[in-house]
Homo-oligomer: A and B are copies of this chain.
Amino acid sequence: MLVRSSIDRSSRALEDYLMAIYRLEELFGEARTTVLTNELSVKPATISKMISKLAAKNLIIWEPYKGVRLSEKGRAIAEKIVRRHRIAEYFLVNILNMDSVKAHRYAHMMEHLPEEFFDKLYEFLGKPSICPHGNPIPGATPSTDVLKAKPLIKFSIGLTIRIVRILCTAGGEIIADIYKLGIDIGKRVKIVSFSERGIVLEIDEKRILVEYRYTLAIYGVPVE
């Protein structure tokens, strides 16, 4: 079979879909068609068609009209891509001095480069264990903080939480919005109350309302 020397076209879409599903599963426990629509900038009909292909390849588990989750096989592939993505992000932020939102977008373009590139890059970077958003790089030993961290929504009123990681979606809009609110890795926030729309947080002596769709992505640990 002939092999183009550029990045293989066929595996690209597949990897993008698995990545998107991985992220949504991380956030919501499952991936719905409409949400994938935003993640992949593609019409619902396209998502449906691709979903049935991925399901036929046993990469995902599909309950029609309900949603999809990754199979073991699919998750294994997705985790490889997540690793590449986070190594790329680390490089873009810490070596090339890109802001972390832009880095996220560019990392998405780099994540289809071959494994060996990332092995070399990872070596050069000194084998970091987390990406700039605090998310663990698969393969590295995660810190206890990262392991213990839970989404803000899981903590009770009154607790002060140190932000440890922020989950990312494909477009990067969610992380951009979150950083705009003044939330960042290492910052401390206090859970003030739960309203209908979101969580009221105290951060830098100010109170802000953070919508639930964001608080699902913000992981932290209680401050002793």
The chain A residues found within 8 Å of chain B, CB to CB, are: 2-7, 9, 12, 16, 40-42, 92, 95-98, 105-106, 108-110, 112-114, 116-117, 120-121, 123-124, 170-171
Measured between beta carbons, the chain B residues less than 8 angstroms from A95 are: 124
Measured between beta carbons, the chain B residues less than 8 angstroms from A6 are: 12, 16, 108-109, 112
A-B pairs, top 5 by smallest CB distance, nearest first, are A96-B120, A2-B41, A7-B109, A5-B108, A5-B170
Tell whether, in the assembled complex, residue B98 and residue A120 are in contact, meaning their CB atoms are under 8 Å apart.
yes
Measured between beta carbons, the chain B residues less than 8 angstroms from A12 are: 6, 9
Measured between beta carbons, the chain B residues less than 8 angstroms from A106 are: 113-114, 116-117
Tell whether, in the assembled complex, residue A105 and residue B170 are in contact, meaning their CB atoms are under 8 Å apart.
no
Tell whether, in the assembled complex, residue B41 and residue A3 are in contact, meaning their CB atoms are under 8 Å apart.
yes
**Residue from B9, B97, B113, B171 in contact with A110 in the complex, judged by beta carbons closer than 8 Å:** B113
How many copies of this chain are found per oligomer? 2
Measured between beta carbons, the chain B residues less than 8 angstroms from A170 are: 5
Query: Shortest distance in angstroms between A164's beta carbon and chain B's nearest beta carbon?
Result: 26
Known: A6-B109, A7-B109, A109-B7. A96 touches B124 (CB 8 A): yes
Query: Shortest distance in angstroms between A106's beta carbon and chain B's nearest beta carbon?
Result: 6
Tell whether, in the assembled complex, residue B97 and residue A4 are in contact, meaning their CB atoms are under 8 Å apart.
no
Q: A5-B170, A106-B116 are in contact. List 14 more A-B contacts (CB 8 A).
A: A2-B41, A2-B42, A4-B40, A5-B41, A5-B109, A5-B171, A7-B7, A7-B109, A9-B12, A96-B117, A96-B120, A96-B123, A96-B124, A97-B120
Query: Shortest distance in angstroms between A207's beta carbon and chain B's nearest beta carbon?
Result: 34
Query: Shortest distance in angstroms between A5's beta carbon and chain B's nearest beta carbon?
Result: 5
**Closest chain B residue to A117, Cβ basis:** B106
**Closest chain B residue to A96, Cβ basis:** B120
How long is the Cα–Cα vector from A36 to B117 in the complex, in angstroms?
27
